[in-house]
């Protein structure tokens, strides 16, 4: 979901989503930590699973009270009633096994028309940018993951064309034409210390509805755990920036924002607070995905330099906010 659902990097992987919902994505390959072991040993689930159990029981006609993600008397009674009706010993507990059964029952009921379709709601935000005038945009894969619909703020609906989950990239298309599109940096070769400008729609429930611009530098030509497919940049990134373009001083795309480090949780684990470490999929990864799917795009040399204000003025015309609906 967007899903939201930006997903933040905590030295372990979450697409700000999704939904994600538009949060900077979690990192791949990290140790799952103690919670993974707890979940295997203890069958009871967290608040998100309890809320899902409550929603699915309600869809099946049971009175669960308020679906807050916390157990209450009515939810326990509804679980016991469901368990009894299906020939199980009544426990009244929201276990993961029960969750799986309820998901199956609801999905089967909707296919048969005996269970009403769930209402669709906005679950997250992210950013995307147009790559050609034929309605194609690029975003982060975790921004659109598990979304029933991906929309722009004007309610235009996008279809997912292609996904590179490893690089956290997605290509979408809508039945629209874009007047302004991004150009990818053609040369010269990117160097450490070069300007890195982020434009996107972070923290839509807190910050301004208009596009936000931040500036920093390319601090490394590889990313998390020395990933050669990523750049590390110092430009500030917030949930909602995921999927937005990372630009050079000529307003050309050098990457796509995908993740950041969760400062407080890293501090609890290591005793230090990371600063200005954010990650973007390199433009080469984006272009490879576009090429593999026959999607055209523009390239341009970065021989000149613009002010940050001029870069922002150009970029806001081809950058858009996405919403994940579920």
Extents of the domains making up the chain:
1-34+120-326, 35-112
Tokens of 259: 């993740």
Average pLDDT over residues 293-309: 95
Tokens of 78: 């509804």
Confidence of residue 267 (pLDDT cuts 50, 70, 90): low
User: What is the per-residue burial (b if ≥16 Cβ within 10 Å, else e) of 4-37?
Assistant: bbbbbbbbebbbbbbbbbbbbbbbeeeeeeeeee
Tell me which residue of 251, 235, 24 sits closest to 127, measured CA to CA: 24
pLDDT of residue 313: 97
Q: pTM (2 decimals)? A: 0.68
User: Given a cut of 80, is residue 181 above it in pLDDT?
Assistant: yes
Average pLDDT, the chain: 84
User: Given a cut of 50, is residue 133 above it in pLDDT?
Assistant: yes
CATH entry, 1-34+120-326, from 3.40.50.620, 1.10.20.60, 3.40.50.300, 2.40.10.120: 2.40.10.120
Which is higher by pLDDT, 45 or 325?
Answer: 325
Angle at 283 between CA 30 and CA 249, to 5 degrees: 115
- Lowest mean per-residue pLDDT among 114-118, 211-215, 305-309: 114-118
pLDDT of residue 27: 43
Highest mean pLDDT among 31-40, 99-108, 142-151, 161-170: 161-170
Average pLDDT over residues 16-39: 36
Number of other residues whose CB lies within 10 A of the CB of residue 187? 11
Highest mean pLDDT among 86-90, 234-238, 315-319: 315-319
Q: Which fold has domain 35-112?
A: Muramoyl-pentapeptide Carboxypeptidase; domain 1 (1.10.101)
Tell me which residue of 288, 6, 20 sits closest to 162, measured CA to CA: 288
pLDDT of residue 265: 62
pLDDT of residue 26: 41
- Lowest mean per-residue pLDDT among 52-56, 171-175, 230-234: 52-56
Q: Dihedral sign, CA of 74, 79, 80, 86?
A: positive
pLDDT of residue 142: 94
User: Given a cut of 80, is residue 43 above it in pLDDT?
Assistant: no
pLDDT of residue 266: 64
User: Given a cut of 90, is residue 295 above it in pLDDT?
Assistant: yes
Confidence of residue 45 (pLDDT cuts 50, 70, 90): low
Which residues are paired to 280 by β-bridges? 231, 257
User: Given a cut of 70, is residue 6 above it in pLDDT?
Assistant: no
User: Given a cut of 80, is residue 107 above it in pLDDT?
Assistant: yes
Residue 151 phi/psi, 5-degree rounding, is -125, 155
Tell me which residue of 157, 158, 183, 160 sits closest to 171, measured CA to CA: 160
User: Given a cut of 80, is residue 273 above it in pLDDT?
Assistant: no
Please tell me the distance from the alpha carbon of residue 255 to that of residue 288, in angstroms, as a whole number: 12
Q: Dihedral sign, CA of 100, 101, 103, 107?
A: positive
């Amino acid at each position: 979901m967007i899903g939201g659902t930006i997903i933040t990097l905590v030295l372990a992987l979450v697409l700000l989503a999704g939904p994600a919902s538009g949060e900077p994505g979690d990192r791949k390959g990290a140790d799952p930590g103690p919670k993974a072991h707890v979940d295997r040993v203890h069958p009871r689930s967290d608040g998100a699973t309890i809320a899902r159990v409550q929603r699915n029981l309600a869809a099946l006609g049971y009175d669960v009270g308020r679906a807050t993600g916390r157990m209450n008397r009515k939810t326990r009674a509804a679980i016991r009633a469901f368990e009894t009706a299906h020939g199980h010993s009544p426990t009244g507990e929201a276990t993961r096994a029960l969750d799986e059964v309820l998901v199956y029952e609801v999905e089967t009921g909707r296919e048969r028309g005996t269970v009403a379709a769930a209402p669709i709601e906005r679950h997250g935000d992210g950013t995307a940018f147009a790559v050609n005038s034929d309605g194609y945009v690029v975003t982060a894969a975790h921004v659109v993951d598990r979304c029933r619909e991906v929309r722009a703020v004007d309610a235009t609906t996008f279809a997912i064309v292609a996904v590179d989950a490893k690089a956290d990239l997605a290509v979408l298309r809508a039945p629209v034409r874009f007047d302004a599109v991004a150009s990818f940096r053609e040369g010269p070769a990117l160097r450490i210390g070069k300007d890195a400008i982020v434009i996107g729609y972070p923290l839509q429930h807190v910050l301004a509805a208009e596009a936000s611009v931040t500036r920093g530098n390319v601090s490394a030509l590889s990313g998390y755990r020395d990933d050669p497919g990523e750049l590390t940049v110092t430009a500030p990134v917030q949930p909602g920036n995921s999927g937005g373009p990372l630009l050079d001083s000529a307003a050309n795309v050098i990457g796509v924002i995908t993740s950041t480090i969760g400062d407080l949780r890293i501090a609890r684990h290591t005793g230090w607070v990371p600063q200005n470490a954010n990650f973007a999929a390199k433009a080469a990864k984006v272009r490879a995905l576009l090429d593999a799917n026959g999607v055209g795009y523009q390239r341009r040399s970065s021989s000149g330099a613009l002010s940050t204000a001029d870069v922002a003025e150009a970029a806001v015309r081809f950058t858009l906010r996405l919403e994940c609906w579920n």
